[in-house]
Amino acid sequence: MGDSFSNAALFPVYQASDQSTKRIEVGTRVGLLIDRTSAISIDQAMEPFRIWQPIKTKTPNFGFTHNAYWLRFQINNETEHQLTRYVELPISFIDEVHIYHYKDSQQKAKFILGDNYPFEQRPYRHPNFVAPLELAPGLNQVYVRLASSGTIEAPLRIWEPQSFYEESNDFNLMQGGLAGILLIMMAYNLVVYFITRDTSYLFYVGFVASFFFFHFSLNGFAFAYLWPDFVGWNNFAVSTFIASTELFACLFAINFLKLSRFSKPAYYIMKFLAAFSGVLLVLTFILPYSITIRLGSAAVFPVSILSLAFGYWRWWKGAKFARIYCLAWTAILVGVGILVSGKYGLIPSNVYLNMSHEIGAVLLVLLLSITLADRINHDRKLRIRAHAVALAHERRSRSAQEALIKSKEEANMRLEQRVKERTIDLNKTMHQLKLANDQLQLLAKTDGLTKVNNRAFFDKAFQEEYRRVLRMKVPLALIILDIDFFKKINDTYGHPGGDACLRAMANLIQPKVNRAGDVLARFGGEEFVILLNDCSLENAVKLAETLRKDVQKLIVPFEGQNIRFTASFGVACGLPDTTFTPDDLLANADKALYQAKRDGRNCVKTLADCTS
C-alpha cells in the first residue's frame, strides 16, 4: 500500500487495493478547514473558493476549542471492483463526528456520529466512531466534520475490515483485562474494609471505582455497554468521574499518610483540594461540560503532584509504609501527565500515549493495594510492640499494686487508731466552733454598743417583714426616734457620757418591743428604729408616746452626775401594696421625725402632722 499528496497537500490521496491489508494512519496528512462559526455545511465546505490548509502541528490535536474542524482526504480504489474500507476515529468522546463519502461529486454515504447522538445510530457496536465505506473504483472523496465542547483530536485511520476486527478483538481483550483487574481490586479491598473498618480502604475503593468509570467513559465502553440510551448523562460523565477520582485521591492521601498528625499545612492543602473536587463534582451536574472538563483536567496535576510530594515527605521523615505509595503515585503521575499533555496538544499522540494512563492506573491500583497491606503489617507490628510494652507495664503495675495494697492495709490500721483519737478532739473542736459561730452570728446582727439589733439586721428584717405583711394584707408601722440635743450631751459629758445615754435608751425600749416579728434596732448615731407588724397608726402612736414619757423620766448616772434628756419620735404606718414600698414607709417616718424636731422636740409626730 502507498500514499501520496496532491494539490499541495490540501487533498491528499491514499491508495487501496486487494493487497492492502494493514491500516493507514492518516495523522496530519489531511486538508484542514477551520469553521470558527460552527455553521458551515457539507455543501459549503465543498465550494471551490474555500481555503483549505495543511495541518502544521505534529499531531492532529486541536485541544480545547469552540471551533468546528473539517478534514478531507481521498482514497483511490486501484481495483476494478468495489472495496470495503473502514474509516475510524479512535477517540470516543467527541460531541459531533460527521463523515461524508463522495464519488465524482455525488454523495455515496453519510454518517452522523458523536456522543451527542444515541449509540444505536452507529453502524457498528464499537466504542470508537467507525464508518464503513464502499469504495467505487477510482478516487473517492472523504469529508469529516468534528465539533466538541471538550478536546478535539483527529488521528483518523483507514482499515481493511479483517484487520479492523482483529485489532478490535485485541483491544477489547486488553480493556476487559483492565476492567477485571480494577473490579478485583475493588472487591478485594472492599472486603478488607468491612473486616478492618479502616477508612483508607473505603477511600481506595472509591478512587478505583471513580477511575474505572472515568476510564471507560473516556474510551466509550461505558456508553457502548453501560448506558447506551442515556446521551445526556454520557455528555458530562467524564467530568463527573474526573472530579470524584480527584476527591477520593485527596481523601485517601489525607487518611493513609495521616496528614492531620504529620503536618497541619499539608493537611489543610489536601483538605482544600478535596473540597474543591467535591464542589466540582456537584458543579458537573450544573455547569456546562466545556467548563467542568477544563477545571477537572487542570486539577489533575496539583492533586497528583501534591499527593506524591507529601508521600515522599512522609517517607523522608521515616514513614516506611509510604515508600510503595510513592512508587504508585509516581506511576500514575507519569501516565496521567502524558495523557493530559496529549489532550492539550503538548506532545504527539500515539498508541503508547493513549495507553499511558491505563498502564499507570494498573500500576497505581496494584501498588496502592500492596501498600495498604504493607501498612496493615506496619500497624500490626506497632500494635504487637505496644502490646508487649503494655504487658511489661502491667507486670510492673501489678507488683506496685500488691505493694500498695500491703502498705494500704498497714496505713489503714494506723489510720483507724488516729481516727479514734482525732474523733474525740474533733468533737471538742466542733462544739467550740459552734459556740464561736453562734457568737459571730450574734455579733453580725448586734450593735456593739447598745446590744440591740444593728442597721444591717434591720434592713434585712424590714424587707422580709414587708413581704410577709404584703401577703397577709395587714398594716405595717415604723417608729424612728432620735435623742434630742445629743451633740450637747457629748460636748458636756464627752463621748462616754453619750454612749451611756444610748445604752440606757436601748435598755428602756427593748422590754416594750416584745411581740414576735417586732424589731428594735439602732439605726445610726443617736437614732433608733422600731418595726411593728400588724399594727395600726393609732397603736404605734400610743407606743411612741409611752416611750417619750419614759425617756423624759429617765435618769442616767454618769461619773457622779445624773444625765437627763428627751427624744423626738416620727411615726408612719401603711398597708403594703405594689405602689407602697419599704422605702416609702421609711421616708414617711423620717419626715415625721424631722417635723417633731421642727416643732420643738420631745414630741411624737406622724406624716399627717407634716401636711397640716
Q: Which of 282-296, 423-437, 502-516 has the lowest mean pLDDT?
A: 423-437
Q: Which three cell numbers stand for residue 7?
A: 494539490
Q: How far is CA 211 from the centre of its chain?
A: 27
CA end-to-end distance (rounded Å), the chain:
139
CA 398, CA 392: separation in Å to the nearest integer?
10
Give the mean pLDDT of 35-50.
89
Give the mean pLDDT of 85-103.
89
What 3-state DSSP class applies to 48?
Answer: coil
pLDDT of residue 549: 94
pLDDT of residue 4: 36
CA 432, CA 420: separation in Å to the nearest integer?
19
Q: Which of 15-29, 264-278, 338-352 has the lowest mean pLDDT?
A: 338-352
Give the mean pLDDT of 318-339.
72
pLDDT of residue 602: 94
CA 296, CA 273: separation in Å to the nearest integer?
11
pLDDT band at 254 (very low <50, low <70, confident <90, very high): confident
pLDDT of residue 93: 79
Q: In the chain, what percentage of residues exceed pLDDT 90?
A: 30
Does residue 503 carry a pLDDT above 80? yes
The model's pLDDT over 192-201, given as tens digits with 9 standing for 90+, comes to 778 778 787 7
Q: Which of 179-193, 245-259, 368-382, 412-426 has the lowest mean pLDDT?
A: 368-382
pLDDT of residue 357: 62
pLDDT band at 394 (very low <50, low <70, confident <90, very high): confident
Give the mean pLDDT of 420-426.
74
pLDDT of residue 347: 63
- Which of the two residues, 308 and 82, has the higher pLDDT score? 82
pLDDT of residue 381: 64
- Which of the two residues, 222 and 555, has the higher pLDDT score? 555
pLDDT band at 3 (very low <50, low <70, confident <90, very high): very low
The model's pLDDT over 43-62, given as tens digits with 9 standing for 90+, comes to 998 988 888 999 888 888 88
Does residue 2 carry a pLDDT above 70? no
Q: Which three cell numbers stand for residue 307?
A: 499527593
Highest mean pLDDT among 67-76, 294-303, 342-351: 67-76
pLDDT of residue 325: 74
pLDDT of residue 301: 82
CA 181, CA 168: separation in Å to the nearest integer?
20
pLDDT band at 1 (very low <50, low <70, confident <90, very high): very low
pLDDT band at 119 (very low <50, low <70, confident <90, very high): confident
Does residue 612 carry a pLDDT above 60? no
- Whether the model clears a pTM of 0.85, i.e. scores above it, the answer is no
The model's pLDDT over 337-388, given as tens digits with 9 standing for 90+, comes to 676 666 555 666 555 565 666 676 676 667 666 766 666 665 666 666 766 6
Residue type, 273: L
Does residue 444 carry a pLDDT above 90? no
Whether the Cβ atoms of residue 254 and residue 267 lie closer than 8 Å to each other: yes
Whether the Cβ atoms of residue 544 and residue 535 lie closer than 8 Å to each other: no
Whether the Cβ atoms of residue 31 and residue 53 lie closer than 8 Å to each other: yes
Report the chain's C-alpha Rg in angstroms.
Answer: 53
pLDDT of residue 231: 72
Instruction: For residue 8, give the nearest of 60, 52, 63 by alpha carbon.
Output: 52
Q: Which of 87-91, 233-237, 464-468 has the lowest mean pLDDT?
A: 233-237
CA 495, CA 470: separation in Å to the nearest integer?
41
For the chain, list the domains and their CATH numbers: 3-159 (2.60.40.2380), 172-386 (1.20.1070), 455-611 (3.30.70.270)
